[in-house]
A and B are shown apart, each in its own frame.
Chain A
Amino acid sequence: MSGVVDLIGAVALIGLIKVVVVFVALLLTAALVTYMERKVIADMQARVGPNRWGPFGLLQAIADGIKLFFKEDFRPAAADRWTYAIAPAAAMVPSFLAIAVVPLGDHVTVGDRRVDFVIADINIGILYFLAMGSLGVYGVVLAGWASGSKYPLLGGVRSTAQLISYEIALGLSLVPIAMVAGSLSLSDIVAAQAGTVGNVTFFDGIPVLEQLQDIFSIVPNWYIWSQWPAFAIFFVAGIAETNRAPFDLPEAETELIAGYHTEYSGIRFAMFYLGEYIHVVVLSAVAVSLFFGGWHGPGLGILPWLWPLLWFLAKTLVVVYLIIWLRATLPRLRYDRLMWLGWKRLIPAALLWIVVTATVNTEGVSRNIRLAVFVVLAGLILAWVGRGDPRLAFAVNPQSGDDRGSA
């Protein structure tokens, strides 16, 4: 052991251990989430779901993994050999890497050394997450192109346009958070959300509400309260980035068979599949860190380092559940509606929200005025985003100026 420490240094060794532990934990969580998704959707559709392997079918994910591993690894004759082989890895690896900046818990002290539960606390955490998201596009694009077949190509082309469009909204939705926290590091952002909202004097003088506002002294100080429009944009754009329903046009089975992974089988298909679920888990983890206080939460005296980890896992799984719930509820968007939502609603709304946050956060504005302005303007922006089009997924908006959807 000491030989290894001498060779690469204690810091590097701790880093290596963290990487291995987080890698395994993420794989297990993703496997758990595949099972969770099947069970939850089965329940929502009044079915039983997987129940054969292990108690409650818990080992289903392992059975699937073994099955996929031993299936034939097929490659079409027209495929581009190397690109076809690289694409699944290119889809999976960026999702894995993105977890590196997410603080999973507080810290422990081993000997005289402080070990944080984060692989890399770099001061560009948010940008790193966005960078990994933008690299994730390649897996889909290359798979679509390299398969040498028309449905995957269509899926790949669709995916490129979709991901580039929603990347902008995703990035812009994180700017207000960086402005409020004054940092791009996820650890700093989580630290800024410690404690409770505290004393609110907004309703002073109003009989009933005055007593009710005391409740804020136990409400955690999360960014979701003041930044919920940013969360809404982040969440929608994030789901679009994961290629999941209702934004799963790149793999729309009714029109494109399975889109970019039509030609893939066996272990390579498993990598796409796993990559998608890892992406979902990481997206939820980042959402929790940015908007829901990260690992902060009440704990007991025993094992003080364990509770933050559990809180973080619990919050992340709740967000994952939301994403699954959306898949079970919403139908797929039509292509022009997708572009309309991304370019004409989400991006302008995100830009507007940046201006609002910048204005309200100026020095010298009292906290209550900020609160009031936030609530009113956020409501206005939301009303405008959904304006005149409650049936977003189906309707053709006569004012939007695009006539091609009607043909």
Chain B
Amino acid sequence: MNLEYFVFGVMFVMALGASLAMLFARNAVHAALFLVVTQVALALGFLLQGAFFVAAVQIILYAGAIMVLFLFVIMLLGVDTREALIDPLPGQRPLAIGLGGLLAAEILWVAVRGVELAAGGEDQATALTELNQNPGNVKALAAELFSRYLLPFEATSVLLVVAIVGVMVLARRIGRVPNTGTGAESASGSDKEGAAA
């Protein structure tokens, strides 16, 4: 039990500290790295809750794939030294502050409600523990995902595919120039995939 509190403390400090450090980092690569630390800390949080599958997915997808792509883009474009100080979209700062406030209120509300729920629902935590024992975290999640939540699940995957196809259409060069030796061709495999599609 003591160990659990200790791990929670480490995770808490890691997640918050890395998030703050990310906000104040001057270097784009450093900011991305702090975001990776935050993702790993959150995965640790999921582990503490007994959500093993979500923790693994959090690391594989967010820390392992998405953040590597971030770094890839930062390294390729070389934006690590200077940052764009001009707003490309006017008015996005006040909008961001407003939406951020809304999100904070929502989180606060869920947190308060969560305390209420936990006060009357001690059996919920034990139910999760039992589920993790039998039939196991992954199987229980899969059963829910592919029966009760099948439609939202499939709709999400369709949405992602639509987004990918959209990006490919937007990024495709019209009237493809055969190998002119521009620098952009050297690295990624994605433009090749776009051409093949």
Q: Which residues of A contact B (CB under 8 A)?
A: 8-9, 12, 80, 83, 122-124, 127-128, 130-131, 133-135, 137-138, 141-142, 144-145, 153, 156-158, 160-161, 163-165, 167, 171, 184, 336, 339, 342-344, 401-404, 407
Contacts and interface: CB of A to CB of B under 8 A. Distances in A.
11 contacts: A8-B3, A12-B3, A124-B138, A135-B64, A141-B71, A157-B76, A163-B68, A164-B69, A165-B189, A167-B65, A171-B60
Contacts of B40: 135
Contacts of B55: 124
A122 B52 contact: yes
B32 to A, nearest CB: 10
Interface of B: 3, 27, 29-30, 33, 36, 40, 52-53, 55-57, 59-60, 63-65, 68-69, 71-72, 75-76, 80, 136-138, 178-179, 181, 185, 187-189, 192-193, 195-196
Contacts of A123: 52, 136-138
A348 B71 CA distance: 27
Contacts of B136: 123
A398 to B, nearest CB: 14
A167 B63 CA distance: 13
A243 to B, nearest CB: 15
B102 to A, nearest CB: 33
A128 B179 CA distance: 41
Contacts of A401: 195-196
Q: Which 9 pairs, one residue from A and one from B, show the smallest C-beta to C-beta distance?
A: A134-B64, A127-B56, A131-B59, A339-B189, A160-B72, A124-B52, A124-B56, A131-B60, A404-B179
Contacts of B137: 123-124
A205 B33 CA distance: 65
B36 to A, nearest CB: 7
A339 B137 CA distance: 36
B56 to A, nearest CB: 4
B69 A130 contact: no
A403 B57 CA distance: 37
Contact of B33 (A83, A144, A163, A404): A83
A396 to B, nearest CB: 12
Contacts of A124: 52-53, 55-56, 137-138
Interface of A is mostly: helix
B63 A134 contact: yes
A145 B196 contact: no
Contacts of B189: 161, 165, 339, 342-343
A124 B73 CA distance: 31
Given A124-B53, A131-B56, A164 B65 contact: yes
A9 B53 CA distance: 27
A403 B59 contact: no
Contacts of B187: 157-158, 161
B64 A403 contact: no
Given A8-B3, A127-B53, A127-B60, A184 B138 contact: yes
A156 B192 CA distance: 20
A403 B179 contact: yes
B63 A161 contact: no
B100 to A, nearest CB: 29
Contacts of A135: 40, 59, 63-64
Given A12-B3, A124-B137, A141-B68, 17 more contacts: A9-B3, A80-B29, A124-B138, A131-B64, A134-B60, A134-B64, A138-B36, A138-B68, A141-B71, A141-B72, A141-B75, A145-B75, A153-B75, A160-B72, A164-B72, A336-B192, A339-B189
A336 B185 CA distance: 11
Contacts of A9: 3
A163 B69 CA distance: 11
A334 B58 CA distance: 33
Contacts of B76: 157
B80 to A, nearest CB: 8
